[in-house]
Amino acid sequence: MVTVPTVGLSGEYRVADLVEAATIDAPLALTGNASQAAVPLFAARQDVTDGVLLSGLYDGVHGYRVAVLGREELRRVGESLSRNDEAWLPTGTRALVLGDHLEPQPALRKAVAARRIALLRSPLPAVALVRRLQTVLLRALHGRVTVHGVFMEVTGTGVLLTGPPAIGKSELALELLNRGHRLIADDAPEFELEDDQVVRGFCPPLLRDFLEVRGLGLLNVRAMFGDTALKPSKNLRLVLDLRPLAEYIADDGDRLRGARTARTILGVDLPQITLPVAPGRNLAVLVEAAVRNHLLERSGYDAAGDFIARQSAAIENT
């Protein structure tokens, strides 16, 4: 059990943020529909007060924000639900995590759906899961999160490369290094709030200087490219999400403006662009172009808007 003092947290910290932050230390998977990812664990700065219980083994008494269930805890919950015990879930609990690859009973699925409680699973044993989730949540409460991806400085801009495993993030980072850009952190960059609207990223000490590439193993970037190929920290300005081409086509992205969304990290909305990955596509060039276009947009120029205006003028003149 961990109790924390009052700490600052900007915006909502949701189940989706926990799932992403725990990717390395405590892999989690939602068992219900996607709406569970939006369940807030910590609603706002004033919501995190003295005595908040972050995570612990479910005991039916303490209102852990994230309660972990092993086999015995899951059995007790099942018994409570069979008795229609309305007090089975303590006040304050917003997510249940089943360890040991356990499957939730149908009654549990129904009960959490009725209360808008997120239900997740993990392959880790329950006791180990509690310890690791405590670490992840404490980082978040102190305004720091770990995001799976590669954080780089491209054309002077902090860019986070994200995407599913084996999509080619590290290989892309290696190509960008060859083109003169700089690495900040591979695999597990950490981010913290500079102020309410600025997120700054840096590399954990253990990973500093290293880049892991499938087939090559660990590479020491400082030894291979020199000190100038590395940067200790950078403000995050743009997220580039790598996705298989089939996924991109299925989403039917906007051909004029591209697949643009917002990515929320520590309560700050950041622009995110989805880049489709397919054989023959030069991703390094696409990343550079995306960053340059982003810089133009920040200066006030909109290429798609410019084209639409030209087209409208041409139509009016015909």
Same domain, 163 and 128: no
Same domain, 135 and 159: no
Is residue 247 situated within a structural domain?
Answer: yes
- Helix (H, G, I), strand (E, B), or coil: what is residue 114? helix
User: What is the CATH number for 238?
Assistant: 3.40.50.300
Same domain, 194 and 134: no
Is residue 161 situated within a structural domain?
Answer: yes
Is residue 202 situated within a structural domain?
Answer: yes
Rounded-to-10 torsion of CA 125, 128, 80, 89 = -140
Dihedral sign computed on CA atoms, order 291, 196, 132, 40: negative
Same domain, 155 and 285: yes
pLDDT at 45 over 50: no
User: What is the CATH number for 113?
Assistant: 3.40.1390.20
Q: How confident is the model at residue 227 (pLDDT cuts 50, 70, 90)?
A: very high
Q: Which of 65, 169, 181, 237 is an active site residue?
A: 169
Same domain, 106 and 169: no
Same domain, 138 and 157: no
pLDDT at 215 over 50: yes
pLDDT at 108 over 70: yes
Query: Which domain-ending residue is among 100, 126, 142?
Result: 142
Is 142 annotated as catalytic?
no
Question: Other CB atoms closer than 10 Å to residue 284's CB: what's the count?
Answer: 19
pLDDT at 86: 81
Q: Which of 65, 94, 132, 148 is an active site residue?
A: 148
Q: How confident is the model at residue 11 (pLDDT cuts 50, 70, 90)?
A: low
Among 87-96, 125-134, 187-196, where is mean pLDDT lowest?
187-196
Sheet holding 95-98, edge to edge: 29-30, 118-121, 95-98, 66-69, 55-57
Same domain, 181 and 247: yes
Is residue 315 situated within a structural domain?
Answer: no
Is residue 68 situated within a structural domain?
Answer: yes
Is residue 316 situated within a structural domain?
Answer: no
Q: How confident is the model at residue 250 (pLDDT cuts 50, 70, 90)?
A: low
Domain residues for 110? 3-142
Is 148 annotated as catalytic?
yes
Same domain, 199 and 56: no
Q: Please provide the size of the chain in residues.
A: 318
- Average pLDDT value over all residues in the chain: 87
Is 255 annotated as catalytic?
yes
Q: How confident is the model at residue 247 (pLDDT cuts 50, 70, 90)?
A: confident
Place of tokens 């000190």: 227
Place of tokens 């529909």: 33
Q: Where in 99-177 does DSSP place strands (E)?
A: 118-121, 144-146, 150-154, 157-162
pLDDT at 103 over 90: yes
User: Taking residues 113-141, what's their average pLDDT?
Assistant: 87
Give the range with max mean pLDDT: 78-82, 257-261, 285-289. Answer: 285-289
Q: How confident is the model at residue 236 (pLDDT cuts 50, 70, 90)?
A: very high
Q: Which of 25, 186, 187, 241 is an active site residue?
A: 187
Same domain, 134 and 280: no
Checking DSSP bridges between strand 157-162 and strand 233-244, what pairing results, if any? parallel
Tokens representing 30 are 């939602």
pLDDT at 26: 72
Q: How confident is the model at residue 1 (pLDDT cuts 50, 70, 90)?
A: very low
Is residue 51 situated within a structural domain?
Answer: yes
Number of domains in the chain: 2
Same domain, 137 and 153: no
Greater pLDDT, 244 or 24:
244
Cβ atoms of residues 153 and 231 within 8 Å? yes
pLDDT at 287 over 50: yes
Is residue 313 situated within a structural domain?
Answer: no
Q: Where in 99-231 does DSSP place strands (E)?
A: 118-121, 144-146, 150-154, 157-162, 182-185, 190-195, 198-202, 210-213, 217-220
Query: Which domain-ending residue is among 114, 142, 170?
Result: 142
Q: Which of 50, 83, 227, 255 is an active site residue?
A: 255
* Type of residue found at 57: L
Query: Which domain-ending residue is among 116, 142, 168?
Result: 142
pLDDT at 125 over 50: yes
Same domain, 203 and 130: no
Same domain, 73 and 175: no
pLDDT at 21: 78
Compute the distance between CA of residue 46 and CA of residue 153 in angstroms, rounded to an integer. 34
Maximum CA pair distance of the chain? 76
pLDDT tens digits, 187-213: 999 998 776 678 999 999 999 999 999
pLDDT at 318 over 90: no
